[in-house]
Chains A and B, each alone.
Chain A
Amino acid sequence: MSSPRPSLAVVTAVAALTMGASTGCYRVTVKSGLPEAQSRPAMNGASRGGYFNGVFEDDPVHVAGVCKGGWSSVHIETGFLNGLVDAMRGLYYHVDNVTLVCAPEPVTAAAPPETIAPATAPPAAPPPVAPAQAAPVTAAATARTTTL
């Protein structure tokens, strides 16, 4: 008794499903030209979409509140699972995965030159004064202040 062999259509469908699940559909990357920040993406594959097959978008991504130094790139793709969910939902709601990579934040301005201490050796500490000599000076100063 021979085991049933899968048809070519089934093999093709499984291959297409595997390939689709491992990648994504309609992948678009928009680059601004700024370098990428070292930190994690501000949005990493966030699900964003809209009603009536994406005609009415939920709310656009507001970059200024997320990336202080501007944005470097935006990656949008229709994930395979998103496609499956779309097919089940019909035209009701469409979802894409959005990844937003920020640019490095600008470095804060350096202090003005006049506030920077000169690169000279620190002033020498005054020579230590013996307690026996210091006491009369202090007493005299105190007396002078009192009389004034």
Chain B
Amino acid sequence: MSRSLWVLSAAIGFAAMSAGCYRNSIVNEAVIPNPESESETETKVFFAWGLAGSGEVDVRDHCHSAPVASVSYYADPVDVVVSGITLGLVGLRSVEIQCGTPAPRAVAKRGAR
């Protein structure tokens, strides 16, 4: 395989990894993502291939009283590299929280969060 093909493959792989591996998302359609506020990311640290470590996230720490539009769980490239270097002894996972405002139809409802 030529060198350029290797570089292209690595670039595609890195671009794909930038989206985050192991991704799982929760979306609340009753909430409109706030375009003015950036999503907040919280990194959780695990040990021994994820067997040990705390992964508690409270969205009120990020959105306060605002409702949550989406929550995404993934491993970003840094998380993957750290896990790889330490052979899984230290593993990182990221939780991304997007705050928002209740959709007009759901304003009157309590289930905005």
Contact = CB atoms under 8 A, between A and B. Distances in A.
Interface of A: 16, 19-20, 23-34, 48-50, 52-57, 60-65, 67-71, 74, 76, 78, 83, 94, 96, 98, 100, 103, 105-106
Nearest to B112: A70
B78 to A, nearest CB: 15
Contact of B111 (A19, A60, A68, A74): A68
B51 A61 contact: no
Given A62-B29, A70-B113, A78-B50, A96 B24 contact: yes
B113 A32 contact: yes
A30 B73 CA distance: 10
Contacts of A98: 24
Contact of B25 (A29, A52, A60): A60
Contacts of A96: 22, 24, 73
B50 A103 contact: no
Nearest to A67: B111
A24 B60 CA distance: 26
B20 A55 contact: yes
A42 to B, nearest CB: 11
A8 to B, nearest CB: 17
B29 A28 contact: no
Nearest to A57: B23
A65 B19 CA distance: 26
B16 interface: yes
A46 to B, nearest CB: 10
Interface residues of B, number: 42
A30 B50 contact: no
B25 A57 contact: yes
Given A19-B51, A29-B56, A78 B22 contact: yes
Given A61-B26, A63-B27, 15 more contacts: A19-B51, A25-B50, A26-B55, A28-B73, A33-B58, A33-B60, A50-B22, A60-B25, A60-B27, A61-B27, A69-B110, A70-B110, A70-B112, A76-B24, A96-B22
A106 B111 contact: yes
Interface in B76-113: 91, 93, 95, 97, 106, 109-113
B57 A71 contact: no
A71 B26 contact: yes
A84 to B, nearest CB: 12
Contact of B109 (A23, A24, A25, A106): A106
Contacts of A61: 24-27
